[in-house]
Amino acid sequence: MTESFLFFSFFYSFEAPGEPESGPGASSFSIPVEKKDDLILCRNCLEKVTNSRSMAAKEGAWEHTFTNAYGYVFRVGCFTTAPGCIKVAEPTEEFTWFKGYQWQFCLCRNCMQHLGWYYSSGRDSFFGLILTELLFQE
């Protein structure tokens, strides 16, 4: 885990509900869902992870906010493909954030940073990637 990861986890954990988004980092995550070809990179090593054309809404939204079993808050964006990710460990449904989907960890194929999770239901699959770990290129 990087320092920035911990910082953002802290920041979002203590954000008051309903408060307008402001403060460090917040503005860079208001990403419109547009079908463009902008590259999306690993923030840690700048490896190409996916592109904005792969953004996809799941359960009605592109972006989701989840809290894991340890209290860390993640802001996750959904992508149909992420060629820059490798999947690790066996798929599991334990604590899944998307009902009916199994998940695996996804790491950057270049630097092994944890970038998110791969979700698969058998009929549908997608990548849920942590927005604070990505770099969106214009």
The site for Zn ion (CB under 5 A) is made up of 42, 44-45, 47, 108, 110-111, 113
Tell the smallest beta-carbon distance from residue 63 to Zn ion (Å). Answer: 21
Tell the smallest beta-carbon distance from residue 97 to Zn ion (Å). Answer: 23
Task: Report in angstroms the alpha-carbon separations of 29 from 89, 99, 135.
Answer: 29, 25, 10
Q: Of 105, 79, 83, 74, which is closest to residue 92 (Cα–Cα)?
A: 105
Residue 102 or 132 having the CB closest to Zn ion: 132
Residue 54 or 113 having the CB closest to Zn ion: 113
User: In what order do the strands lie in the sheet containing 114-120?
Assistant: 63-67, 73-79, 125-130, 114-120, 102-108, 85-92
Strand partners, 74: 66
Residue type, 57: A
Residue 47 or 63 having the CB closest to Zn ion: 47
Tell the smallest beta-carbon distance from residue 107 to Zn ion (Å). Answer: 8
Residue 98 or 130 having the CB closest to Zn ion: 130
Tell the smallest beta-carbon distance from residue 134 to Zn ion (Å). Answer: 10
